[in-house]
Amino acid sequence: KQEVTQIPAALSVPEGENLVLNCSFTDSAIYNLQWFRQDPGKGLTSLLLIQSSQREQTSGRLNASLDKSSGRSTLYIAASQPGDSATYLCAVEWGFQKLVFGTGTRLLVSP
Amino acid sequence: DAGVIQSPRHEVTEMGQEVTLRCKPISGHNSLFWYRQTMMRGLELLIYFNNNVPIDDSGMPEDRFSAKMPNASFSTLKIQPSEPRDSAVYFCASSLAGTQHQPQHFGDGTRLSIL
């Protein structure tokens, strides 16, 4: 059974700080790992997708890394802004097209 | 691109009633997913379709839940009869499945309350 864990569960930082969100999974036989953002009352928005053969992906101020052998991924957010406040979820594709989600990290960036 | 469209956005009904949730996937996508999100269990996959055919329904909690995809542009998730423990946010997502794994695109969800 695949289990995905995210720490911390919540994080509060002042604007401008760089921060790291962590995700770990128990079974390394994954197709890919995805990071999503969820705003209150909204669906999930895909931020980054790292294929199992890749080590990292970057989009703007976001950088995600994947270490399959150790079952870990990190999402690095540079120069955080209040607009980054949201819940961040990681998910592994375990079994074709089947996503297993973590419980999320709730991020608050204060002006 | 209109995105994944779900309706209704909110549904409040009494226990025992039939509930039907609707989803229109992104045009051209060939895979569709139904998820349920609760505080206790997080996001769980209920069922997914590929080319309108149900592929895996192992996440469907009980026989009270059923899902259909009569064509490439429409899917329903039905609960009959509904119970208070079915209260949750239900999400639909779609993707383009192929040799390269593509991200799933989510709708804004239906917030379901069973009284």
Q: Which range has the worst mean pLDDT, A72-86, A87-101, B80-94?
A: A87-101
Q: Do B104 and A99 touch (CB under 8 A)?
A: yes
Compare B12 and A40 and report the one with higher pLDDT: B12
Average pLDDT of span A46-74? 95
B98: chain A residues, CB-CB within 8 Å:
none
Token pair of A34, please?
Answer: 């995805």
Percent of chain B with pLDDT over 90: 84
Alpha-carbon span B74 to B76, nearest angstrom: 7
Whether residue B111 is predicted with pLDDT greater than 70 in this model: the reply is: yes
Best mutation target among B106, B111, B112 (most A Cβ atoms within 10 Å) is B106
Whether residue A33 is predicted with pLDDT greater than 80 in this model: the reply is: yes
Among B38, B54, B35, B77, smallest CA distance to A99 is for B35
Average pLDDT of span B88-111? 88
Alpha-carbon span A35 to A106, nearest angstrom: 13
Q: Do B56 and A45 touch (CB under 8 A)?
A: no
For residue A90, what is the nearest residue in chain B, using CA coordinates? B43
The pLDDT score that the predictor gives to residue B49 is 95
Q: How many Å lie between the alpha carbon of B105 and the closest alpha carbon of chain A? A: 7
Q: Do A102 and B42 touch (CB under 8 A)?
A: yes
Q: Could you give the C-alpha distances from A5 to A73, A110, B40, B78, in angstroms and in order?
A: 10, 25, 14, 31
The pLDDT score that the predictor gives to residue B61 is 87
The pLDDT score that the predictor gives to residue B100 is 65
Q: Do A99 and B50 touch (CB under 8 A)?
A: no
Average pLDDT of span A19-45? 93
Q: How confident is the model at residue B4 (pLDDT cuts 50, 70, 90)?
A: very high
The pLDDT score that the predictor gives to residue A80 is 97
Q: How confident is the model at residue B21 (pLDDT cuts 50, 70, 90)?
A: very high
A71 and B CB contact within 8 Å = no
B106 and A CB contact within 8 Å = yes
Alpha-carbon span A106 to B4, nearest angstrom: 24
Q: How confident is the model at residue B97 (pLDDT cuts 50, 70, 90)?
A: confident
Q: How many Å lie between the alpha carbon of B32 and the closest alpha carbon of chain A? A: 10
B107 and A CB contact within 8 Å = yes
* Dihedral of alpha carbons B37, A76, A23, A14, sign: negative
The pLDDT score that the predictor gives to residue B53 is 94
The pLDDT score that the predictor gives to residue B6 is 97
Whether residue B51 is predicted with pLDDT greater than 90 in this model: the reply is: yes
Q: How confident is the model at residue A104 (pLDDT cuts 50, 70, 90)?
A: very high
How many beta-carbon pairs below 8 A join chains A and B? 52
The pLDDT score that the predictor gives to residue B99 is 62
